[in-house]
Structure 1
């Protein structure tokens, strides 16, 4: 390894890592056949990135790549199950064979189960962990190994969940898989930073996102799983991912609900328990029969090329919280200004 590479590794700490502009990047995205991954792939390609999309649904991936190439973008696909380490290695190998490298790796693939903790089978739980946790571990390891070998900065982006910060009911076996992702991400970040390895590691904390996630879910319920309440578009998550690909960022929360749930769960755990026990179950299913177990994507690919689900509630067009996270200094100034004006108004009213 030459002196330039050694200098890069020695001086590029995680917080100081200089990442490429998106238009100069090769980006790997798992779980790209629908939902967040699909939207992220399209937005990344539109901004000039070369994209490598991976999922189990080969037909959907093929159509996506044809769509992107038809618009003049550079893209390729790899059919892979991220729950299999050999498949994840194949994604990296194919990306390097095609483009010579990759600069950002996005661990987005995920599955979920709706059912009570004592009712979901151990077999189903293990299969979910294969995708949600082990898929992230496999992806993280091949990405970090590639960045270390090249000796240049890279970005690793792991998609977690608001339920990775706080347990829940009904998705009580899904939450632990995301807790594991959060713990893995934090631990890996510290180790790489201590060893001065130039990798920016970002954990994305999505709130409730309007994707086919619920239609793909393995359901133990009589009623169809859905999101209710405030729901954010997958574009908001994609915006956060693309920002993290260019700017080192520790955490990005998608929506104030994700940040609020973490704050409440950390500082007022018993109150949060009681509130969630009372209100959360009914926000996770609709008044129609549930999909059949064999229609889920737990053991096989789900239908592809859909970005939205059949969720119910206030569907937001964007996430102000994401936009604020991209400009923390400006946001702080505005909040201080707002507080100052409010304080002055209150003081004037009292005088």
Structure 2
């Protein structure tokens, strides 16, 4: 009887041609959320923030010791959480994450594809072996996670969210990080294609792409470096909490894209409107703002082929760290933001008329 009712409801939805934004997702306090790359940086901050908001957390990463400490910490604070040691570049490991969530909590409601690693080096110098390995994590890990989550939501017939963490380098090519940029371009293309196909089918899945700018995490310390000097963010950097805020917002509210920081949105727009100018701008600025004066970490210190050190939210970057992204705040409250902007515009117009 339930199958008949479900099929009838699905037929009505197909006739309606519902948009993704019309899906009703659970409140975070009622959710089970899977987070990959949860042992450090954005994933670690998101796991802690999600738990504090009442969600049950499934923390996945390669660093087993860090995951155990994280889950112990969350449980001591009265939250429900489990850990799964997994390499997202291995399809069987990704399925293991889903199986663990189902066994512990009966399923999951949001899957965050966050795990990532970068390579700093010229396009003509990075080895093909290293490129392939990085794509396993950054691109194929997203593919495996997305498909696993979609299968789960389709089987249980309750709406859920897939949240893929992209990059502003996925909207625009970058010098020195060509492999990472290429993998993130692939993530963006995959996410858009997946979203359109699911929406066409009226599938109960919200698909969101997060576009972070430069974030203060151990990202550079974990990277494989071909440079003489240590990779580092120099300039304006955003706190990882700003990305976590965007992730958790879209876990409750279906949204196509979330840009973290005006920096990310500006570069995406500039690249589309003035591509040749953007080429020159990035050639001029990126070489000197992606490393500092320290000697680069040796290849064996990177987390490309093994787990990096865990339980660090922030990195060793140099610059102006913004703890809040007003672009994220504005995206979360578009009506209020529009009203404020309109009020400011009206006030300026009135002042100009008086003059």
TM-score after normalising by structure 2: 0.96
> 1:74 is matched with which residue?
80
Structure 2: stretches of 5+ with no match in the other structure? none
What secondary structure is seen at the aligned counterpart in 2 of 1:190?
helix
**Which of 60, 68, 71 is residue 62 of structure 1 equivalent to?**
68
Q: Does 1:232 align with 2:238?
A: yes
Q: Give the superposed CA RMSD.
A: 1.1
Structure 1: stretches of 5+ with no match in the other structure? none
> 1:5 is matched with which residue?
6
> 1:255 is matched with which residue?
261
Is the CA contact (8 Å cut-off) linking 1:214 and 1:226 kept in structure 2?
A: yes
- For these two proteins, the number of residue pairs brought into alignment is 349
Q: Deviations over 1:211-270 (max 9, x none)?
A: 000000100000010111111000000000110000011100000000000000001101
Q: Does 1:318 align with 2:321?
A: no
Q: Deviations over 1:40-94 (max 9, x none)?
A: 0000001110000000000000000000011110000000000000000010011
CA distance in 1, matches of 2:96, 2:141: 13
> 1:203 is matched with which residue?
209
Dislocated runs of 4+, deviation >6 Å: none
CA distance in 2, matches of 1:129, 1:59: 25
TM-score after normalising by structure 1: 0.97
> 1:16 is matched with which residue?
22
Q: Does 1:88 align with 2:94?
A: yes
**Which of 111, 115, 129 is residue 109 of structure 1 equivalent to?**
115
> 1:175 is matched with which residue?
181
**Which of 311, 323, 332 is residue 305 of structure 1 equivalent to?**
311
Structure 1 residues 67, 9: CA separation in 2 closer, same or farther (over 3 Å shift)? farther
> 1:191 is matched with which residue?
197
Is the CA contact (8 Å cut-off) linking 1:9 and 1:198 kept in structure 2?
A: no
CA distance in 2, matches of 1:311, 1:208: 10
CA distance in 2, matches of 1:112, 1:5: 44
Q: Deviations over 1:129-173 (max 9, x none)?
A: 000000000000000000000011001000000000011111111
